[in-house]
Structure 1
């Protein structure tokens, strides 16, 4: 279940309803899917074949299509990152820069853990959303954020897009942002 840490105060928000209520106020969509429906052999697998990625998409097809229909997403795929990913540290450096997009950034976590760092309202500032299997988040277009892995450095996620070529990051310079 997702947890939130507000960086300015170190306050933690836990519990699905509390997390959802906080993220709603920050205009960030949060949902939870049943990660246990994924076949057991894929629940802790972080190097995937194309067939295994297709199996993940098939397993969550109803949830993906429901979200896509509600939010206008037209295409989706699966991303898997772990220490086995070539050039993982270089990829993470690219991810770990505050940026925006001209469409939502959506992740449905099916295995592992990840964290979105998001710029909230002026009274909140930056906050971390720690995600695990079953958590679904949509950071709205033009909202400054970035994504990275947590200490286990393993994640599998379904990504949904409006634009069929995927999203493009636009750097967001913010002197108030401080790395944790």
Structure 2
């Protein structure tokens, strides 16, 4: 279950309903998928074949199509990052740069863990959203944020997009973290 750390106060928010309420107050969508659907052999696998990725998309097809219908997504895929990912550090540098998008950025975590760092309302500032399998988050368009991995550097996520080009980021100068 996701947990939140507000960076300027170190306040920690936990519990699904508390997390959902806080994120809703920051206009961030939060949902939770049932991970019991995912076969055991895919739950801890971080180097996936194209067939494995297709299986994940097929298993969560109903959830993905529901999100797509509600929020206008047109394409989706599975991304996996781990120590076996070529150029992992280079990719993380790109992800860890504060940026915005012209569409919301949605991720459904199906394996591993990661952290979105999001700029909240002025009275909140930046906050971390620590995500684990089952957590689904949508960062609103034009909201400064970035993403990083936890210490074990392993994640599998379903990504959904409106734009056919997928992930297009605009860097935010001097974010004042």
Tell me the TM-score normalised to structure 1 length: 0.97
Unaligned stretches of 5+ residues in structure 2: none
Unaligned stretches of 5+ residues in structure 1: none
Mapped contact 1:103–1:167 kept (Cα < 8 A) = no
> SS of the residue aligned with 1:70?
helix
Structure 2 residue aligned with 1:148: 148
Give the paired residue count: 177
How far has the Cα of 1:115 moved from its partner?
Answer: 0.4
| CA distance in 1: counterparts of 2:36 and 2:128, whole angstroms | 25
Mapped contact 2:98–2:175 kept (Cα < 8 A) = no
> SS of the residue aligned with 1:122?
coil
How far has the Cα of 1:167 moved from its partner?
Answer: 2.4
| CA distance in 2: counterparts of 1:164 and 1:43, whole angstroms | 29
Structure 2 residue aligned with 1:170: 170
Does residue 131 of structure 2 align to residue 131 of structure 1? yes
Tell me the TM-score normalised to structure 2 length: 0.99
| CA distance in 1: counterparts of 2:90 and 2:64, whole angstroms | 29
Mapped contact 1:102–1:167 kept (Cα < 8 A) = no
Mapped contact 1:79–1:158 kept (Cα < 8 A) = yes
Q: Which aligned runs of 4 or more in structure 1 are off by greater than 3 angstroms?
A: none
How far has the Cα of 1:37 moved from its partner?
Answer: 0.8
Structure 2 residue aligned with 1:33: 33
How far has the Cα of 1:175 moved from its partner?
Answer: 4.5
